[in-house]
Amino acid sequence: MRVLLVDDEQELVATLAERLEMRGIEATWASDSNTALERVRQERFDIALLDVKLPNMNGLELKRLIEAECPWMKFIFLTGHGSDEDFVACSAESGCDYYLIKPVQLDVLMGKLNEIFKGSGGPP
Amino acid sequence: MSADQDTTSDLGIGFFGNMTASISHEIKNALAIVNENAGLLGDLALLMDKGRPLSAERLTTIAGNIRRQVQRADDIIRRLNRFAHSAHEPATRIDLREVLAFTVALAERLATMKGITLVLAAGEPVSLVIRPFVLENLLWLCLQRLFVAAGSGGTVELATEAKDGCALVRLRCGSGTQVGPVAAEAARLGQSLLAELQTEIDTDADQGELLLRLPAPACS
């Protein structure tokens, strides 16, 4: 399973990526939307974990751009608050596969990654 | 003031909501990083139990990361506390440049989200008697509109100046930025704030500047 983590808090995604790697998941991170788009053009990912609030472009906009290039990818949104109106807009409009509220509970994230990956039929 | 224009209180509630929502996101981010570093320590301890060596340098780095985020959260909460108290603070003698610095600290995250860099220009202290919360609110009302006018990748520079016995705040986007419509909208929406502060909005179109002119009686 290959996962792309996108959040402008670089230390957050770098540490989260390291912890996922320890659990056998190939994780790459980006701290801005443009870098995230470069990554998906260079490598194949199964799932992206996107912060809802990113500089310049919100998570929903980034999801649409990634989906246009990688229609097989699944998405998890990361939000500071469950009641975040941005998240409500994202989930209603784009049907994101799941959302997590910061701070992330790693066992919950692992469970969701495995569930989404199995549901997508695994590697192509 | 017409019936459809917001009072100082209405505008103040909206401003307070914008800022506290942004601050709560900042705190969440700091906590999320502390959480990941604590989790990483736990992961490394488990690996150490299985015989994988763990260097003191690695532990020191992680401890430093946690300490830095705790300091960051503490700074954010101090800012929140000061902001909360300023909401009911009466008119008091302030240094205009210091209020600008505080407003920049409050607005920085929201500016970054729009791809805008906020810069506080060097300058001499300018002392005046004013309600700081109302001035912060007016600055934010102007900044929100300047972010749109400057566009992603732009810079807004804030500067103060004492001129002819009064205080000037310069909000500079650079030449090419259409500041006229920004001034007109800020004057319309912020009418109650301008009235309370006895402040006029002007522009320097060549410089791409919005000017707030605080009247002579308020200045020292």
pTM, two decimal places: 0.87
* Residue range B92-119, pLDDT digits in tens: 999 999 999 999 999 999 999 999 999 9
- CB atoms < 10 A from the CB of B159, how many? 17
- CB atoms < 10 A from the CB of B17, how many? 10
**Distance separating alpha carbons of residues B61 and B185, to the nearest angstrom:** 49
* Residue range B38-93, pLDDT digits in tens: 999 999 999 999 999 999 999 999 999 999 999 999 999 999 999 999 999 999 99
Res. B220: pLDDT tops 80: no
pLDDT of residue B163: 82
Chain A partners of B65 at a C-beta cutoff of 8 Å?
Answer: 11, 15
Chain B partners of A16 at a C-beta cutoff of 8 Å?
Answer: 36
Q: Which of residues 159-178 of B touch A (CB under 8 A)?
A: none
**A15·B36 Cβ contact <8 A:** yes
Token pair, residue A22, equals 């320890």
Q: How far is A102 from chain B (nearest CA, A)?
A: 6
* Band of pLDDT at residue A124, cut at 50, 70 and 90: very low
Mean pLDDT (chain B) is 92
* Band of pLDDT at residue B125, cut at 50, 70 and 90: confident
Q: How far is B18 from chain A (nearest CA, A)?
A: 13
**HEC profile for B103-165?**
HHHHHHHHHHHCCCEEEECCCCCCEEEECHHHHHHHHHHHHHHHHHHHCCCCEEEEEEEEECC
**B36·A55 Cβ contact <8 A:** no
* Band of pLDDT at residue B176, cut at 50, 70 and 90: confident
Res. B147: pLDDT tops 90: yes
pLDDT of residue A56: 84
Going B12 to A56 to B82 to B90, the CA torsion angle's sign is: negative
Report the residue of A11, A54, A60 to disrupt the B interface, i.e. the one with the largest count of B CBs within 10 Å. Answer: A11
First to last CA, chain B: 30
CA triplet B153, B113, A21: central angle to 5 degrees? 110
* Residue range A63-102, pLDDT digits in tens: 999 999 999 999 999 988 765 565 565 565 666 778 888 9
Report CA-CA distances (Å) from B153 to A9, B150, B179. 19, 8, 17
Report whether B48 contacts B54 (CB < 8 A): yes
* Residue range A23-47, pLDDT digits in tens: 999 999 999 999 999 999 999 999 9
Of A11, A53, A104, the CB nearest to B65: A11
Interior/surface letters A24-43, b for 16+ CB within 10 angstroms, e for the rest: ebebbbbbbbeebbebbeee
* Residue range B1-40, pLDDT digits in tens: 455 567 888 899 999 999 999 999 999 999 999 999 999 9
Of A11, A54, A106, the CB nearest to B39: A106
Share of chain B above pLDDT 90, in %: 83
Q: Where are the beta strands (DSSP E) in chain B?
A: 92-95, 117-120, 127-130, 155-163, 166-172, 200-204, 209-214
DSSP state of A122: S
pLDDT of residue B94: 92
